[in-house]
Structure 1
Amino acid sequence: MRRTWALAAIAAVSLAFSSCAYDSTDSGDTGGNAPVSPTPTSPPASPSEPVLKMGPTTIGEVVVDTGGMTVYVYDNDEVGSGASSCRGPCLESWPPVTSVTENPVVQGLQEVVVDTIPAADGTHQLTVNGRPVYRYKDDNEPGDAFGQAVGSVWWTLDSSGNPVTTTAGGE
């Protein structure tokens, strides 16, 4: 009898602990949907919605995409070349900012030429003043600007489309 009672008690405690460990906010079940990508992406803007605009970030007001994610330029891209030099592993950390249209709409930028170039995946990568623009994989929330000055070659943009080459510390 004691053995049966002891086994029942162990089973009850195990059940209690397993139910405590359950987190209803993250069941691990995607419900048949594809897993969520760790890289933040903003849905392509409709043809009349601005694809680039000025927005608040951790380093001040800079150019952001439709979802408020900071955009960057890469010093190794040749201005006006019509091509991106970021390929392979570079694109894993720095995905291009794309548009569904070749004629993107911008808001709050001053005398800036915004155009597109063909992206590796067949979409239209945005350019600002002839420079391809990218997002940074470690920017997880709108307003993050963790890509600023990475490798001393990645920069945010001001309202005139010029690279902001200062770091968060003002260097």
Structure 2
Amino acid sequence: MSRTFAAIAAVTLLFAASSASAQMLKTADTAKGKTFVDAKGMTLYTLDKDAGGKSMCNGPCAESWPALIAADDAKPTADMTIVVRDDGKKMWAYKGKPLYTFKKDMAAGDINGDGFLNGAWHMATP
């Protein structure tokens, strides 16, 4: 009995550790199709100007487009990587593209940032 309990506990801990980064990327349906959302259901976006695993959205840009911050102990996966911002904070990136929310999205499912800045901002999609 204790062996079974230990095995279940080990699997649970492994799942909990590996699902921490998976929780960052959930999908939701919007009027424009599927998109990635954060833990609160808010749409995630990418910026065309971001390249080479670097966030180009700093200063006033970061006030309107908050980064999807990664905890200091966050563990990247094959698709989810971590980018260090100019301010030293860590943020999540999907396949190398940093992820952001948009402050004008007021509720889960809002997609007000898609196409913003002459099409430079896009919903992050699977």
Does TM, scored on the shorter chain, surpass 0.5? yes
Instruction: For 2:48, give the aligned amino acid.
Output: D
Structure 2: 5+ residue stretches without partners: 1-15
Distance 2:108 2:86 in 1: 25
Q: Which amino acid aligns with 2:68?
A: V
CA deviations over 1:37-68 (Å, ceiling 9, x no partner): xxxxxxxxx85441111112342221111111
Alignment partner, residue 5 of structure 2: none
How many Å separate the matches in 1 of 2:70 and 2:47? 19
Q: Give the aligned CA root-mean-square deviation in angstroms.
A: 2.1
**How far does residue 153 in structure 1 lie from its aligned partner after superposition?**
0.2
What are the superposed Cα offsets for residues 98-136 of structure 1, whole Å, 9 maximum, x if unpaired? 12143157xxxxxx7110111345432111111111111
Task: Kindly indicate whether residue 100 of structure 2 is the aligned counterpart of residue 134 of structure 1.
Answer: yes
What SS does the aligned partner of 1:91 have?
helix
Is the 1:62–1:70 Cα contact (8 Å) retained in structure 2?
yes
Highest CA radius of gyration, 1 or 2? Answer: 1
Aligned residues: 106
What residue in structure 1 maps to residue 74 of structure 2?
102
Q: Counterparts in 2 of 1:1-171, with a 5 A limit?
A: 48-49=19-20, 50-78=23-51, 81-100=52-71, 101-104=73-76, 113-151=79-117, 152-159=119-126
- Aligned partners of 2:54 and 2:33: how far apart in 1? 29
Residue 4 of structure 1 corresponds to none
Deviations 1:15-41 (A, max 9, x none): xxxxxxxxxxxxxxxxxxxxxxxxxxx
What SS does the corresponding residue of 2:35 show, helix, strand or coil?
strand
Instruction: State percent identity of aligned pairs.
Output: 33
Segment of structure 1 superposing worse, 149-158 or 112-121: 112-121
TM-score scaled by length of structure 2 = 0.74
Q: Which amino acid in the other structure matches residue 64 of structure 1?
A: V
TM-score with structure 1 setting the length: 0.56
